[in-house]
Amino acid sequence: MADVTLTPVVLANQHCQLGENPLWDEEAGALYWEDILAGHVWRHAVASGRTERVYAGETVGGFTQEADGALLLFREKDIVRLEHDGSVRGWRSFAEAGNTRFNDVTADPHGRVFAGTMGATETSGGVYRFDPDGAVRRVITGTGVSNGMAFTADRKHFFWTCSTRCQIWIYDYDEASGEIANGRVWYQCEKAEGTCDGLTIDREDNVWSARWDGFAVRQHAARDGRVLREIRFPVAKPSSVAFGGKDFATLFATSAGGDGRASLDGAVFAATVPGVRGRAKFRSRLTRG
């Protein structure tokens, strides 16, 4: 494993209790993220350096950006649109016995949304797929905490994180139907590394995985999962990662544990790894503006 000799810089520090879901808006040149426990969604415009809270309300476990630019917020018992003017418009209710809330969501190339949940037990959580035609299907079962997800560049494989068992799984993915199949463990995290949390994929299909309680984000080789690089952070709980900025050359990382004081816990960090570029996240297409 080769350590990356760089120090991540603080992009913004709102002392998030549980910062998650970094999402780069290429058109606006801005990064969105959420503080799950506080019920906040934040936006940082890179050009101006301005950070603003764009949502305060019920707990948000994850969000996507719709085709028209609105945010689709997956809350505890419903899913709503956060409009450009800051208003909230209901879309659909969603609640199931045995689950506490959504936890990490991602859109696929056709605008479907794969939405993970946290279970009340170590096996009652999973992943649901929301389709543009209104259908909802449970596609993964048997986890307590579903986490980071992403698709490979050829759109033939889907990565999913099971934080309960500290594993990253890979599935065969059919783009036309949205179906996933043949799931198998791709990487087993060791306890000393911290827990596998949010993830993203670079242009070479290498996986970047945040390590909760591990002070790090690790890059894994696309072919076999071996650790290629590790970026060390000054906080214990890096929680999720996403590429953004010019040519998607910046790796953004959220963190958790902020208590409102001077600590960097809960800050959002930015790092540039020489020669590494990411890709834009797909936009969801579940609602109409």
Question: Catalytic: which of 104, 108, 197, 202?
Answer: 197
User: Environment class of residue 181 by beta-carbon count within 10 Å: exposed (0-12), middle (13-18) or buried (19+)?
Assistant: exposed
Please check if 197 is assigned to a binding site.
Answer: yes
Give exposure, 183-209, as e/b (b: 16+ Cβ within 10 Å): eeebbebeeebbbbbbbbbbeebbbbb
> What distance in Å separates the CA atoms of residue 138 and residue 131, rounded to the nearest whole number?
11
Instruction: Let me know if 205 is a catalytic residue.
Output: no
Q: Are 54 and 69 in contact (CB under 8 A)?
A: no
Q: 206 a known binding residue?
A: no
Is 13 annotated to bind a ligand? Reply is: no
* Partners of 50 in beta bridges: 45
CB atoms within 10 A of CB 264: 16
Beta bridge partners of residue 40, listed in sequence order: 35, 56
Residue 147 assigned to a binding site: yes
CA atoms within 13 A on the CB side of 135: 10
Q: Which residues are annotated as a binding site for a divalent metal cation?
A: 20, 147, 197
Could you give the residue numbers annotated as active site? 197
